[in-house]
Amino acid sequence: MSGSLGIVLALLASAIVMFAINKPRLDAVALIMLVVLPFTGTVTVGEALSGFSDPNIVLIAALFVIGDGLVRTGVAQRLGDWLIAKAGNNEVRLIVLLMLVVCGLGATMSSTAVTAIFIPVALRIAKSTGISPSRLMMPLSSAALISGMMTLVATAPNLVVNSELERHGVAGFRFFSFTPFGLPVLFLGIIYMCLTRRWLPVSHDPKTSGRVSFANWIDQYNLADRESRLRIMEGSPLAKKCLEDVNLRGASGVNILAIERNGKFANQVLKPTAKTELQVGDILLIDRSASIAGGDAIRKQYHLEQLPLTGAYFSDRSQEIGMVEVLLPPTSEFIDNTLIESEFRSRSGLTAIGMRRSGGAYTGDMLKEKLDVGDILLLVGSWKDIERLRGETSNMVIIGLPVEMDERLPAPGRALQALFCLAVVIGLMVGGIVPNVQAALIGCLLMGVFGCVDFASAYRSIDWKTIVLIVGMLPFSIALERTGGVELAAAALKSLTVGADVRLVLATLFVITALLGMFISNTATAILMAPVALAIAHDLKLSPYPFAMIVALAASTAFMTPVSSPVNTLVVAPGRYTFGDFVRVGVPFSVVVLIVCVILAPWLLPP
């Protein structure tokens, strides 16, 4: 082993360790590697940054925008309504239809985004049918993972493997090259989930299983003693001062949720900002931190008059004031920060007034509590800001909308246009009329022309963490190849399977890839294993396609633990799953997928 290879392997090992412990965050690790690798002399700065010009990177970003267009136009909501209408109260039929729809939609957009879209859909279905949410959440996540085996653009690892093929001067996969593998896996997955659904916990929790009202949330989150309506009286030190000057949150642990003000023709409900100037007669809707013993001290200090507050108050003002329940996914930038440290209200436009953790309402001081993956927050603010969350899946995922929002839901008037744009993109890709990246960009432009997305939502929809992660890890392929690391790994794997049938070699490659994916992201796994797979194929003088396909399929086989994929992590809280639930259900199915893929790969892609 050369000194250069040792340095590259040491960097790779450190990256894997940081990925496994999730410190620092994934994209930060990728950036660190992007900066450090050129110092090893194995890659130039230009080669390290070349990923940003890779067509597949642009393609991934464009697919995020197209997926956002499907969300904004209400396509997913219509699918949920259709599911309820077709399945009724039949649990097996519901699981079958849910998995088919999720897998079908996930074939053309991010599996994480699809999961985020369908969590509230599945919760509404569970509420209306009386089925436990836990019986639907794992079939949902499994279908989303299987969708990555359906098409070339379904998941980032497929595009990574395809890019590696092209980098070696071999024609890449076609759009539907993955479908003959994904369809049998989906068929077996549906049967498996219908048979093993009894292994899943049964929990009927009204707090997480469906639509509620403002009044229900006030009770569930124990807000009755914390929320108040206070009128600013003559002589109040708050009068004629801006909110940034009085600093109520820092001084008294008070969050101002909304401001009622008498207008010329009717009362107005204002969104509080740092520059909002308070006036005598303004009515403040406030949330007090748990560190404040009571409201009497606040009223006396600021000369405020207490006014009545009930759930009906929020319902009467549901056109101006909204509430939403959100889940914090693993990709959230708010994780490991307090609400104040993360500047939560400034960044989201919404105020967190309640939190549930481990199934119960959090009763401590929310402002001082560090947020964690799976925390469920109750947010209040304008409906416009809540609407913005619909296209946001990286920081917060909507899992509950109140019945008061029914009249505020956007009309899905552009759903047909969004579906038309999607059909154009798929048609161009399948027909090979233009390169895939050009087809996706055409779809983005059409989405904009038809008003399905705007520039702001399009930029927000792109998961830049994923983009940076892929770009930052791509130079490792070049570095390992130049220093002999790929050949070394291929030789080691070849020695383990010397004289063995090609299916045993593929099975070994699948197992190593799937096990590695339990500790680091499936995208990073594909980046590391794709060059090894192609090197093995070259040494054996066999076609590279079955080996590349096995790596891509194994990277999507992330059913075994709740941390194997963000898709699994998202459904843990709504489904009330434990680590053991995933092991019990996911490991046997991973073995099934292994057998199917190893049998089909040499048959469909002869070596």
Number of domains into which the chain is organized: 3
Cis previous bond, 566, omega within 30: no
Report the candidate in 367, 279, 261, 253 with the shortest Cα–Cα distance to residue 320: 261
Same domain for 326 and 277?
Answer: no
Same domain for 309 and 352?
Answer: no
Answer whether residue 120 is part of any domain.
no
266 Cβ neighbours under 8 A, 6+ residues apart:
none
Instruction: Specify the range with the lowest mean pLDDT, choosing from 276-280, 288-292, 393-397.
Output: 288-292
Same domain for 332 and 287?
Answer: no
The two structure tokens encoding residue 143: 């279908």
Same domain for 258 and 299?
Answer: yes
Phi/psi for 242 (5° steps) reads -80, 155
pLDDT given for residue 532 in this prediction: 86
Instruction: Specify the range with the lowest mean pLDDT, choosing from 237-251, 276-290, 400-414, 464-478.
Output: 400-414
Answer whether residue 468 is part of any domain.
yes
Same domain for 465 and 384?
Answer: no
Same domain for 218 and 232?
Answer: yes
5-33: pLDDT as tens digits: 889 888 888 887 886 676 787 778 889 98
Report the candidate in 424, 429, 482 with the shortest Cα–Cα distance to residue 449: 424
Rounded Cα distance, 458 and 441, in Å: 12
Question: Mean pLDDT score of the chain, rounded to an integer?
Answer: 80
Domain boundary among 475, 509, 524: 475
pLDDT given for residue 167 in this prediction: 85
Same domain for 370 and 428?
Answer: no
Answer whether residue 450 is part of any domain.
yes
The two structure tokens encoding residue 51: 């990923």
Query: What's 253's domain CATH number?
Result: 3.30.70.1450
| CB 132 within 8 Å of CB 204 | yes
DSSP strands (E only) in 15-132: none
Answer whether residue 588 is part of any domain.
no
Same domain for 228 and 286?
Answer: yes
Question: In this model, does residue 506 exceed pLDDT 90?
Answer: yes
Give the burial class of 286: count Cβ atoms within 10 A of its Cβ; 0-12 exposed, 13-18 middle, 19 or more buried: buried
Q: Which helix (H) or strand (E) holds 575?
A: helix 566-575
Answer whether residue 593 is part of any domain.
no
Domain that includes residue 384, residue range: 322-407
Phi/psi for 554 (5° steps) reads -65, -35
pLDDT given for residue 313 in this prediction: 60
Same domain for 282 and 360?
Answer: no
The two structure tokens encoding residue 117: 């879209």
Domain boundary among 292, 316, 340: 316
458-498: pLDDT as tens digits: 888 787 876 787 788 778 777 877 887 767 776 777 777 76
Rounded Cα distance, 509 and 527, in Å: 14
| CB 448 within 8 Å of CB 66 | no
Answer whether residue 465 is part of any domain.
yes
Same domain for 230 and 267?
Answer: yes
Domain boundary among 366, 390, 407: 407
Answer whether residue 376 is part of any domain.
yes
pLDDT given for residue 410 in this prediction: 42
Same domain for 424 and 396?
Answer: no
Same domain for 225 and 303?
Answer: yes
Answer whether residue 133 is part of any domain.
no
